Amino acid sequence: MEIFSLINQWINLLFIIIFTLLSISSKPATLALRSNENDMLALLPLKDQLVGDSHGVLTSWNASFHCCQWQGVQCGRRHRRVVSLNMSGLSLAGFISPVIGNLTFLREVDFSYNKLQGSIPREVGHLRRLVYLSLEYNHLNGEIPQELSNCSNLQEIAFNANNITGEIPVSLGDMKNLIELHLAGNLLIRGIPASLGNISTLKVLSLEQKKLKGTIPSSLGKLSNLEHMYIGTNKLSGSVPPVHNFSSLLVLDAADNQLSGNLPPEIGCTFPNLEAIFIGLNQLTGEIPRSISNISSLELFEISLNGFTGSVPENMGNLRNLLDLTISGNYLGSGKPEDLSFLSSLSNCSRLQSLAINYNHFYGVIPDSIANFSIWLEHLWMGDNQIIGRIPQGIGNLINLDLMEMEGTFIAGEIYISIGNLQNLEGLYLGFNHLSGKIPSSIGNLSRLSDLDLSNNKFAGAIPLALKQCTNLQKLDLSTNNLNGSIPYQLFGVFERLIYLNLSHNSFTGSLPSDMRNMKNLVEFYNLQLFMQKNSFHGTIPQSFASLRSLENLDLSNNNLSGTIPPELQKLPFLVRLNLSFNQLEDTYSALLSDLRLLSLLLAWFSAKALNLRKKSVASDFCFKKVTQQNLVQSSMNKAKYLQPFSELVFIGPQMSLPKCFSEKPKEKGKVLSTKTIIAIIISILLGSILVVLLFYHSLRHKARRGTFMPSSLFDNGCLRLSYKELLECTHGFASSNLIGTGSFGFVYKGVLYQHEKPVAVKVLNLRNHRAARSFIAECKALRKIRHRNLVKIITSCSSIDYQGIEFKALVFEFMPNGSLESWLHEQHDQSRYLNFAQRLDIAIDMANAIDYLQHGCGTMVVHCDLKPSNVLLDDDMVAHVADFGLAKLFSSGIKGTTGYVAPEYGMSGSVSPEGDIYSYGIMLLEMITGRRPTCDLFHHGLSLHNFCKIALQEGLKEIFDVRLVEEIGVNRKRIRNKPNMEAEIWECFVSFTKIGVSCSTEVATDRLRIRDAIIELHAMKARLLRT
């Protein structure tokens, strides 16, 4: 019995234990279930803030599925809590909801490559387990939340390519586990916080912003684990701080800043493992430290466009892994023969692919040891130095060379035939030297050659017939030599890709080539330039010139040509410059001059004396007139930029908008007034004027006392109030010297509000439309509520009368010191005003952001109706601001917009739409990438800027791009070649930019690219540029 009793006790105890365990285990399960439900309740509001789910990812986010099965959501295996959100690259728009802070088990969040807007929610700081946070390549704005530093486990932050503003939070220095910090491509200001030096785990620091100022904090020297530091493209100043513990650093990019001083002499010991140094485009001085040669791992060394002096260390050859050495644009060299001795040591750099030493003060002879350079050398830039002697014969050993530039030196003698061994050569630039002898026929072996420049030398003899084997030639410049003989007619039968031919300033004889039919296919939508002036050509101008449809510039002046001008020349659609002066050409010009566009060109180049024009050969409806350049500038000619100063009689046609040519008639006797009569008349007029002014002034004072015309500011609530008098004073009486712009809405003056010491732009409205007066105050109140960083800020307005009793209305805006986009794209007299592609891309993004805000972000949609480059203004930092938004409502009569930019549907229906603004935006993009106005004379007879670019894209033509952008690639090729495929990537960005412009400017409004999609594509393009 006792045994049975004992067994029963054990059984009861076992039941109690099992029951207890089951009770305990059920509580976590219940808790987990509730927590999981909380995650789902957080995800659903997050979904509600996301739009544009073109991939259908969010369709799975519903109660029919467990949230751990939702696409992009990952849960932990043990507790089934959401640990990862991966929504990258789904084209999602909308906002990141603050409820994300309730997903407290999150370890990874990736919303990169979307279209998200708004700010980063502060609630992200609740995610204490977060390890990875990527929001790069979106449209996020606002500041980086300080609460982010609460995420103490974060290892990587990627906020690249957004519109984030404010300062880099000092609190980021408290994140002790951070490994990578990517903040490039935003709008952050001020400086680099010294606290970042406290993140001892940091390996990657990317801060390329354009706006960061101040010095490089010395505390960054404490980052002993740092491998990649990108702080280029900012406004950092001061010297490079001394660093003693950067042994892990692999890449240092501080290019394009304002750094000054010398490089630390111990740099080669401090950075022993560096693979790439980019410190070009700064203000660094002193000598290149000899310790550089200690960095045996160095592959890329780029210090161009600084102020370095002295000699290049002769032990540079110790850098056996060197791929690129770019020291261009400095003051290196001492004017002594040993300046170029360092080149001999580079023969030890067996991997060298690019060498750029151009634009320095090097003197001496190119050593023969250049023949022993790396067989992989592709680019050789040595021009604009004081190099003497001959080009070494051994240059032919560099068989992989595709670009060789030695322009602007003192190289003399003949070119060795070994040049023909460089069969991969695409660009050969030897202009502005002292080369002599004959052009070697071995150049015909260079079948891949596209650019050949032998200009401004002393070459003699004929053009070698072997040159016809270079069938890929696009640019051939043999000008200013001593070449003679006739031009081989065979040449013009093979150069189907030729777009630039300059044979001027030689001694060529014979007739002009008569068969150019094979040249008419040359890049139909690019400009062909033909220069043959200052030779001894005779005979007539061949009719075949009229078959060159892409001909833009033809100069045959200063030859012995005779006969008539082929009338077919006026049919060339792209011809904008024509110079046939100083020949023996005669006969009638009426047919040729009947075309207005061509006539304006003739004015620029022809004088009556030079052409031997005779009145008997001129049509009766034309006349001679003395014309100065000032007359032409004041006329409506849109070709004034081509005009040259001249003083001879010129040929004027009836369509020129110039004053008519009145013949002088003899004065009739008896009609001359006496001196006394004239004086009496003048005194009477003066007395009458004074009386009228006094009466008018009395009337104004009477009305002012009655309060009829009291000046009023339209904004209240403490906003700045300005009277007509104050605006008159701040613009110096609306002086013409203060006039900075005109347009359909009125005149814009620069002024300074002295009591505030603030420069402003005052737009005095043109009140021809009476409706404007009635709606002015109401509309301007609405405009003042519109605020965006890419819109010009309206400060206040004035509605009053002027001193003549005329109604006066003006808007006062922020002043934009860098003027309009129009002036930067087309201002010819100031060559320093140039926008590189990165700047144009940023401006395009700024404009798109402004349009997106007007259409979607400011409550009531605003259609601009007059988007054009002159309405895009640039501030101190070259940030674009759209002006004149909303003013179309004040001027409601007529078709809105400006010719060339107005959407085609406006001319049919007259009703405006947001798609019309997108059309204008697309045209502006095409104008920015091609450098051509939509109203350019090139575009007529059905050819528009849109069609021009669309056809060029289909044909794969690069020649449509703004020549300054193309030159930028050429000038910076020394940097481009530092990275494989970088040049191709930039060309692809040009093409992508053009595609966006074409997609935005399609004729059918519904087919146009949405502005938010354009923004995404532009940001992706910017990201590609940053990666290169």
d(CA 542, CA 196): 72
Active site residue 256: no
Question: How far apart, in Å, are the Cα atoms of 342 and each of 264, 317, 347, 421?
Answer: 21, 8, 10, 25
d(CA 856, CA 766): 29
Question: How far apart, in Å, are the Cα atoms of 447 and each of 101, 420, 979?
Answer: 64, 10, 26
Closest CA to 565 of 601, 541, 582: 541
763 assigned binding-site residue: yes
d(CA 468, CA 539): 24
For the chain, the straight-line distance linking the first and the last C-alpha, in angstroms and rounded, comes to: 90
Dihedral sign from CA coordinates of 503, 509, 511, 513: negative
* 713 within 8 A of 720, measured Cβ to Cβ: yes
Q: Which residues pair with 761 in a beta bridge?
A: 750, 813
Amino acid letter at 548? L
Question: How far apart, in Å, are the Cα atoms of 477 and each of 175, 453, 455, 462, 495?
Answer: 60, 5, 6, 14, 14
Closest CA to 644 of 612, 609, 600: 600
* Cα–chain center distance at 789: 19
Closest CA to 278 of 342, 231, 332, 222: 231
Dihedral sign from CA coordinates of 905, 907, 909, 910: positive
* 821 within 8 A of 929, measured Cβ to Cβ: no
Q: Crossing angle for the helix pair 963-971 and 982-1000, nearest 10 degrees?
A: 160
d(CA 139, CA 1016): 8
Structure tokens at 955: 């044909």
Closest CA to 178 of 155, 194, 198, 147: 155
Nearest 5°: CA angle at 887, between 883 and 893?
135
Structure tokens at 801: 């009368």
Catalytic residue among 866, 937, 962, 1013: 866
d(CA 394, CA 128): 65
SS (H, E, C) 655-708: CCCCCCCCCCCCCCCCCCCCHHHHHHHHHHHHHHHHHHHHHHHHHHHHHHHHCC
d(CA 489, CA 515): 7
- Cβ burial of 142 (10 Å; 0-12, 13-18, 19+) is middle
Question: How far apart, in Å, are the Cα atoms of 91 and each of 74, 117, 135, 1016, 1027?
Answer: 20, 12, 13, 8, 21
Closest CA to 986 of 999, 996, 973, 995: 973
For residue 154, the SS3 value is: coil
Pairing assessment for the beta strands 807-814 and 758-765 based on DSSP bridges: antiparallel
Structure tokens at 674: 């006496």
Strand order in the sheet with 584-585: 538-539, 560-563, 584-585
d(CA 965, CA 431): 22
Alpha-carbon dihedral angle through residues 337, 342, 344, 347, given to the nearest 10 degrees? -160
Structure tokens at 783: 């405009």
Binding positions for ATP are: 763
Please list the active-site residues: 866
